Amino acid sequence: MAPANISMALPIVQIASDCADYARTLQPYLSDLRPLPGLISEHITNTASLKQLYVDTNPFISGLAFSIFLSPFFLFFAELNQNWSQIDRVWSILPTLYNAHWAIWTHMSGLAAQRMDLRLIVSTIWSMRLTYNYWRRGGYKIGSEDYRWAIIKDKIGQPAFFVLDVIFIASVQNVLLFLVTAPSYISVLLSRLDTAHGGSAITSLDYFFAGTIVYLVGQTFVADGQQWNYQTAKYKYRDTAKVPAGCGFTAEELDRGFRMTGLWAYSRHPNFTSEICVWWTFYLWSSVLAGSLLNWTIIGPAIYTSVFLGSTPITEYLSAGKYPEYKEYQKQVGMFFPKSASPPKFSGRHSPQKKRITNGSPDVEKKKAEDYELAKKRYDLR
């Protein structure tokens, strides 16, 4: 039998497919969202009462409430600093905090938690990779911002952009980082079912999906590293007019302005592809075990994917305007998935770039500043 203290917080499920049933597992608890802030206020000074409230509250409702609670803070700091990348700084952190919430709640409720621990471990690996890459590219520096927000603001004007900030940047994106972990709710329910039946909460399928996620994270790490190496060599080359020793690129490749070798020969954004697939794998992990490949938790990975589908074309539009061969690259290589097993081929040499300014030039510092701004526009800070 499941511990008595979760009878208020989780629905009774009889078979695995019940765990993915929205009407059975979530809809009855949505009304608990409104009174939750008041209940927290009542018990705020009593740690034991707060702990009991946490266990007695449906974990999806408490996680959703926390994500909604954060939205006004993202809005406030974005408007205060006139910098709309506040949520970008926690993009790599919040999903794993939510997965930690699922695991902690499962432990505190006395359920078999091995599966939730495994999901948390691979989520932590995902966070470490993305956080490191964001830091390496200067995302945590004061004033760093996703360049696309400034472009959109210029296009639609300040009033409309404020509405966008309220609705999408500070709210939808923030809640999305919780919803992308919603499949873990199904896993919590599966843990209750396993506990009630006295079975194991982890199977070979769990290890298969966990291993797949680690592989995808590794592939993203490789793609990021390839891009980092190329961009580092390119900007040294522009600074010195010499191909950096041992960089592995030719002058023609660096003059082209964008990488089209390695994983980037088969996908224009292999890092994005792997990133998206990570969260679809989390979804499939829960859905396959529940025997319901199509269920309501698909909203998380679906919206997550739509964010990339909406933002990547902006990046590509700018790249096509800066690099003469980029449109040909777009024709030969898929945005996310390969069009061909063969790498792209270009006939003839690329269009000449502007004359480089070397360290001997009095304008070198100005050129470095310009290159930094171009780098920001080239390389999505998320």
297, two tokens: 């938790």
Question: For 333-340, which contacts have Cβ atoms below 8 Å and span 24 or more sequence positions?
Answer: 333/260, 333/264, 333/265, 333/266, 333/267, 333/268, 334/266, 334/267, 334/268, 335/267, 335/268, 335/269, 336/267, 336/268, 336/269, 336/272, 336/273, 336/276, 337/267, 337/273, 338/266, 338/267, 340/266
187, two tokens: 């896993």
CA pair distance 42, 334, nearest whole angstrom: 55
Tens-digit pLDDT string for the chain (382 aa) = 444 455 689 999 999 999 999 999 999 999 999 999 999 999 999 999 999 999 999 999 999 999 999 999 999 998 888 888 889 899 999 999 999 999 999 999 999 899 999 999 999 999 999 999 999 988 888 888 877 788 888 888 888 999 999 999 899 999 999 999 999 999 999 999 888 776 666 899 999 999 999 999 999 999 999 999 999 999 999 999 899 999 999 999 999 999 999 999 999 999 999 999 999 999 999 999 999 999 999 999 999 999 999 989 988 988 998 898 999 999 999 999 999 888 888 765 544 444 444 444 445 455 445 544 554 444 443 4
pLDDT of residue 358: 43
pLDDT of residue 45: 92
DSSP code per residue over 79-129: HHHT-S-TGGGGTTTHHHHHHHHHHHHHHHTT---HHHHHHHHHHHHHHHH
pLDDT of residue 8: 80
